[in-house]
Every structure is written in structure tokens, then in C-alpha cells.
Structure 1
Amino acid sequence: MPPLVLCAIGWLVPGAAHVWLGRRDKGVVFLLAIVLLFAAGLWLEGRIFPVTFQEPLVGLAALANLGVGIPYFLAWAAGLGTGNVVAVSYEYANTYLIVAGLLNALVVLDAYDIAIGRKP
């Protein structure tokens, strides 16, 4: 499978690229960690940021949210992630949501390095 297709699969389903590459344990750990981190952010009343670059930090946060793949689209379709600004956990929740997407991006880069033979 071409490395870029593998990366697309890994972006859509966190950890799937590692499973495809034969690193099942790592793939499952990545899947659980990233999805649970994203779910915790939603549960703590975090906000899935809209994709707009009128406010650059909001746009960057939205790109980070998109990094989690299918869980992002499922949460968006279900109407989750509206955020509750007055919740005590709001900022922590936003951090969880953003970090889940950024962590998945790192996992995809790791899978790419493995796929092209840069990393054993």
C-alpha cells in the first residue's frame, strides 16, 4: 500500500496504520488513547472549534480538532462539542480535544516513517 494512502487511513482511524503495518499492539493503544482523550474532552464540555481563519487561533484549533479523523466527524454530526464556557472544565476539555488531534498527527507521521523504512 502506498505510504500516503496508509497515512490517510491512519488519520481517519487513529492507530489503523500501525495495525496495517503489523504493529497491532501499538495500533490498539493509539486507538484507545486518542479516542478516549477526544471523548474525555467532549464529556468535559469542550468545544469543537469551527473551521474559520478570521481568528487565527480558532482556525488552528479547528485544524487540530480535525486531526482526530472519524471521531471528529461523528461528534460533529451528533451535535457534540458545542462547549460550555462557564464549565470549570472548559479549558481542560479544549486542551484534550486539541491534543487528541495533534497526537494523531504524530502517530500518522510515525506510521509514515515506518512505511518508508526510515524507522525499523
Structure 2
Amino acid sequence: MAEAEAARELADAATVPTPEPVAIGEPGAGCPLPWSVRDTPAGVLRERFSDYDGAQPNDPVKAAQAILRAVDDDTSPLRLPLGPEAVTLIRRKLQRQLADLDSWETVSFDTRYPGA
């Protein structure tokens, strides 16, 4: 079930067509990508990372500081969105989930035994 949810979330957030099944590979920096990975959406995205280095809208130093702050704070969230883009995507996802919950609430509640 988690895989299906993750695939749906990836498809919702992806800016390029996303094939199924979805697999995530994370080779280290400078690791050449084999042709089979280079041509996937993840490979294309990874190749673009070098183009954004130093030109990205969010500051990686500030992100690292936020992560360290979260590690030291007992009240930090389970998921720490970093940057306005992350906050916007998470808020959209939660709004969709709330809309689904609201529209199916009656069906969801109507699963009990009579009188329970």
C-alpha cells in the first residue's frame, strides 16, 4: 500500500512522465550513470542537479542549519519541509487527503456491525 501511495505522490509532483514501477536510486556524487538510468526521469533530474548547483533558489547551508535545529528540538516535526516549494507540495497533498476523507466519510463510517 505504501508503494502505491508513494507512486501516486511522485506522479502528482513529477514534472516529467513517471514510469511504473517506480524505483529510486541514489548513486554518490560523480558516479557516472549507466544508460538505463540516465534516460529515466530520475536520471534526467539527477543530471540537471549540476546545472542548479549555486543557482538553486534555496540555500543548502540554511537547510543544513534547519536540519540541525530540528535534530536538537524535541518538538520538531516528523517530516521537515525545507523551502517554500516543499511546504506548498505538502499542503496540497494534505488538502487532497482531507477532501478525500470528507467525501468518503459516510462510506468509511458505515463499516461497523449494526449496533456496534
| TM-score when normalising by structure 2 | 0.28
Higher RCO (CA < 8 A, seq sep 6+): 1
The structure richer in helix per residue is 1
| TM-score when normalising by structure 1 | 0.28
